[in-house]
Structure 1
Amino acid sequence: MSAINCRSALPRVASVLISGACVGGLLMASAAHADRSEWPQSFTMGTASQGGTYFVYGSGWANLIADELGLSGGGEVTGGPTQNLALVHSGEIAFGMTTMGPATDAMNGESPLAPGVVMDNVCAMFPMYETPFSIAALSSSGITSISEIPDGARIGFGPAGSTSDTYFPAILEELGVNFERRNGGWNDLGGQLQDGLLDVIAFAAGIPIPAVSQLEVQTDVNIIEFTEEEQQQAIDAFPVSEFSIPASTYTTLEDDARAVSMWNFAIAGCDLPEDFVYEATRITMENNDRMREIHRSAATTIPENVVHNKVIPFHPGAARWFNENGYEIDEAMIR
C-alpha cells in the first residue's frame, strides 16, 4: 500500500484534535458481545475546517460512537473531503467524511494530493447528507445573482483541497464568472466577507452552514441562487445534481433557493476490524434522532440513502449491517 504524507501535501492545516468523551455508560447489547480483541482503544474522525458542517457533524458523531462503545474518540480538523480520503487511505486516521466527486478521483488514482495513487484502503460506511453548493454576499454589495458577480471579484472557496475549493471555482468558470481565488476556513472567510476583504463566499457544505448563520446575526446577507439555466449547465458539466435550499434554512431566505449538490458518505479504513465498523454503522443508522441533535443535516443520514454511493466499495462491517436490515448491497460493491 502506498504511503501518503497527506498532512504535508496541503498548505499547513491545523490538526486540532477535538477530544470525545470517553466515559463508560451502558454499552449496546450487541457491542458488548462483539469480538473487541482487535479493536483500537481510540479513533479519529477526519472532518474539515472549524465553522463548517463537517466539523460539527464529524466531531459530534465521534463523541456519540466513543460514548456508546466505551472508547476514546474525536474529530480532527483537516482540509476536508480530499485530504480525508488520503488520511484514511494511509491509515493516519480511522474514519473520515467525503463527497462523491473527490471520492471518484481518489478511486481512479486522480487525487490532487497523490496523483497516480489508487486509494484502495478507503471503504464506505454510511450515507450522510447532500452538500449544496451555495453562494453568499453582503447585501451592501448589491450582488443578487451569479451574473452580477463582478469581474475580478474576490471569492472565498473554503480550505484548499476541499470539495468547495475543488469544484466550485470550476463551476463558476463554467458559468462565465471571472474571479480572484481565496482560501481559508469558513469562520475566517466569513469574517473577511464582513470586513470587506472578500466580495463573495462560495460554499459547498451541509446546511445550515454555521458561518452563514453567524453572518446573518451580525449583518445583512444575500443568499444567491442559481437560475434554472445555470443549474442545468452545472449538472451537465460536473458530478452534481439538482437541489433546493429550503427557505427555513436561513432567516435571510423568503423562498426556497435553487442550487446544486453532491452526496457525502462516511468512510473508514478497509483494514479496520469488521465488528468495530459494524457497531459504528449500527449505532449511526439506528439513532437518527441523536444524529439530528448533532446537526440537522443528519435528517438524511438514514439507511434508504445508501443507494447514492456507486463509487466507493463498502467496508464488510458496514455492508453486513445494511444487508441484515434489508438494504441490499451488491457483492461487487463490498471490499
Structure 2
Amino acid sequence: MRSTRIAALAATTLLAVSGAHAQDRDGWPSSFTVGTASQGGTFFAYGAGWANLVSDELGVPGGAEVTGGPMQNMALVHNGDAAFGMTTMGPAAESIAGTNPIAPGLEMTNACAMFPMYETPFSVTALASSGITTIADIPAGARIGFGPAGSTSDTYFPLMLEALGVEFERRNGGWSDLGGQLQDGLLDVVAFAAGVPIPAVSQLEVQTRVNIIEFTEEEQATILEQFPVSGFTIPAATYTTLQEDARSVSMWNFAIADCSLPESFVHAAVDVVMSDNARMVNIHRAATETLPEHWDKNTVMMWHPGAARWFIENAGAEIPDDMIHGE
C-alpha cells in the first residue's frame, strides 16, 4: 500500500511539473523536425537548440534538419514535410505570393507564423590581408559567397551589392564551407545574412585576421530605400574584431509551423520557447530578441491558431481574426 501511494504521488508530481504540456495531446505528432539552414550558420545552431528544448520539455522526439534556408523551409512546412521551420519576412512574403523560386506559382499558405526569433543583420567579411575595409574596396569581379542557394542572403544580398555598384562572381555554399574557402583564398568576400554572432565568423576570428565591413550612411540609406529591411547596428562586443559598433541593415526571422498541426501542440511548443528567455539565450545569443513583445514583427504570414492564442493570452497581442489561420 505504501509503495502504491508513493507511485501515485510521483505521478502527480510529474503531472504538476509538466503542467499543460502533459494534457490535451489529441492528434499530436509522434515526432517532429525543424527546418533550419546550413551548418555553421545561426539558423542551424538556433534551430537545433529550440528543437531539442521543445522535444525534451514535451516528450516528443524532434530535431533539426539541415536545409537550404528560409525559402526551402517555407516549402517543407507548406508541404507537410517538416512540422516546423524558420524563415525570414522577405522570403516568407515571396513564398506566400507564389514567387518562391523552389516552386514558382505555388502560394505557400500552409506555413503559419509561430513565434518571433531575431533580426538577421546583413554583414560583409573579408580577410584582413585582402585590404578590403569598405564596400567600395571590393574589386570588380570579386568572388563573393552568398550562402546556400535560395537563402535570405542569396536572395537579397546580391541585389543589395548590385545597387551599391559592386560587380562580382556569385558563389553559393554552406556558411562553414564558405568561411573555409575565404580562409583558403578561394573567395574574396563572404556576404553573410544571419543572426549575430555568426558561428562561421567567430571561428574565422580564432584562426585568422578578418575585416567585418560596415555600410556607410549613404550605402545604408540606399539599401533601406530599395529593400524590405530596417536599420541595424552590430554591437562592437559581438566580435573581437570589431572595435566599435558597425552600421548594417536587418530583416526579421520567424519560426513557422504547419498550419494543420493541432492547436494544443503548437501552443505548448510556443510556451516552451517563449516562457523562459534565459534558456533560449543559452542556446544562442541572438535569442535575446526572442521576446513576446516582438509578435508584431510578423506582417505577412497568417498565425497558427495555437501560437496566436499564446500571444493573445500572454503578451496582450492584438491579432485580428483575419490574420489567424482558419478563423
When normalised by structure 1's length, the TM-score is 0.91
CA distance in 1, matches of 2:115, 2:26: 24
Report the equivalent of 2:72: 83
Residue correspondence of structure 1 range 155-234 to structure 2 within 5 A: 155-234=144-223
Deviations 1:70-129 (A, max 9, x none): 010000000000000000000000000000000010111111111111101010000000
Answering whether residue 284 of structure 2 is matched by residue 295 of structure 1, we say yes
Deviations 1:187-234 (A, max 9, x none): 110010000000000000000000000000010000000000100100
Post-superposition offset of 1:252 = 0.2
User: In structure 1, the residue corresponding to 2:118 is in which secondary structure?
Assistant: strand
How many residues align structurally? 310
Post-superposition offset of 1:327 = 2.0
CA distance in 2, matches of 1:313, 1:237: 25
User: In structure 2, the residue corresponding to 1:28 is in which secondary structure?
Assistant: helix
Residue 243 (structure 2) aligned to one of 231, 254, 260: 254
Answering whether residue 317 of structure 2 is matched by residue 327 of structure 1, we say yes
The worse-fitting range, judged by mean Cα deviation, of 325-334 and 61-70 is 325-334
Query: After TM superposition, what 4+ stretches of structure 1 lie above 4 angstroms from structure 2?
Result: none
CA distance in 2, matches of 1:219, 1:330: 51
CA distance in 1, matches of 2:305, 2:26: 18
Which consecutive residues of structure 2, in runs of 5 or more, have no partner in the other structure? Answer: 1-13
- Compute the RMSD of aligned alpha carbons: 0.9
Report the equivalent of 1:59: 48
User: In structure 2, the residue corresponding to 1:170 is in which secondary structure?
Assistant: helix
CA distance in 1, matches of 2:176, 2:195: 15
Deviations 1:226-246 (A, max 9, x none): 000100100111111100000
Answering whether residue 19 of structure 2 is matched by residue 29 of structure 1, we say yes
CA distance in 2, matches of 1:71, 1:332: 31
User: In structure 1, the residue corresponding to 2:233 is in which secondary structure?
Assistant: strand
Deviations 1:18-66 (A, max 9, x none): xxxxxxx875301112x21210010000000000000000000000000
Which consecutive residues of structure 1, in runs of 5 or more, have no partner in the other structure? Answer: 1-24
Report the equivalent of 2:10: none
Report % sequence identity. 69
Larger Rg computed on CA atoms? 2
User: In structure 1, the residue corresponding to 2:95 is in which secondary structure?
Assistant: helix
User: In structure 2, the residue corresponding to 1:44 is in which secondary structure?
Assistant: strand
User: In structure 1, the residue corresponding to 2:282 is in which secondary structure?
Assistant: helix
Report the equivalent of 1:274: 263
CA distance in 2, matches of 1:95, 1:271: 11
Answering whether residue 82 of structure 2 is matched by residue 93 of structure 1, we say yes
Post-superposition offset of 1:333 = 1.1
- Report which of the two has the higher share of helix: 2
Deviations 1:116-149 (A, max 9, x none): 1110101000000000000000000000000110
Post-superposition offset of 1:283 = 1.1
When normalised by structure 2's length, the TM-score is 0.94
CA distance in 2, matches of 1:135, 1:306: 29
The worse-fitting range, judged by mean Cα deviation, of 305-314 and 322-331 is 322-331
